[in-house]
Amino acid sequence: MKSRGKLIKKLKFFYNKLFRDLKTITMKNYVLLLLALLMQIMSWAQNSGRINGKITDANNQPLGGATVTIRATGSSTATDNNGMFSFTNVRPGTTTLIVSFVGFADVIRTVQVNSTDVAAVELNLSEAARMGDEVVVTASKRPEKITRAPASISVSVPVILIRLHPSMWEN
């Protein structure tokens, strides 16, 4: 019995020591992971550029709601009411922007992005009439009872008549 008690004490000591060591190793790993992530974020922030710009029409009036897209990544933004837009965390190098707005011709512009300064872009869009193809609309429907219609229908003609001419419905 005594040897069994000693064995249990030794096992408890071993497990306690093992778990205590695992806790310190885990905490060290968390600290190292956090430091590695911070270093990665700092290096990523240093290697990204920024693009700011303004989109106007031929009369230099700002175009709010124009779409500006970076061709390589597909990321896009819309201009504000003053025609201003901004991209952050853009990869340094040559970047192609595509600007579109309803009723205006699309503009494609190549911009040089540096990690040290902001690339400024000012674009004027010219109006363009876009002619679409002919559209033919046809429909056919078999007669259907009102009770089987997919949408609810209510007839409110008497209510309208009562509001217009209340004397018509009085006796």
| Residue 25 token pair | 């190793």
HSE, CB side, 13 Å, CA atoms: give it for residue 20.
6
pLDDT band at 136 (very low <50, low <70, confident <90, very high): confident
pTM of the model: 0.53
Please name the helix (run of DSSP H) or strand (run of DSSP E) that holds residue 68, with its range, or none: strand 67-70
Say if CB 76 and CB 67 are below 8 A apart: yes
Mean pLDDT of the 112-135 span: 85
Per residue in 90-111, pLDDT (tens digit) is 888 899 999 999 889 999 999 9
- Least-confidence region, from 21-35, 37-51, 62-76: 21-35
Count of other CB atoms within 10 angstroms of residue 158: 10
Average pLDDT of the chain to the nearest whole number:
78
Q: Which residues contact 149 (CB under 8 A, 6 or more apart)?
A: none
Three-state secondary-structure class, residue 59: coil
Q: Which residues contact 44 (CB under 8 A, 6 or more apart)?
A: 89
Euclidean distance between CA atoms 54 and 80, whole angstroms: 9
Mean pLDDT of the 49-59 span: 92
Mean pLDDT of the 74-97 span: 92
pLDDT higher than 50, residue 160: no
Alpha-carbon 115 to chain mean position: 24
**Which residues make beta-bridge pairs with 119?**
51
Q: How far is CA 51 from CA 39, 96, 156, in A?
A: 24, 11, 57
Euclidean distance between CA atoms 101 and 124, whole angstroms: 11
Q: pLDDT: is 164 or 145 the higher one?
A: 145
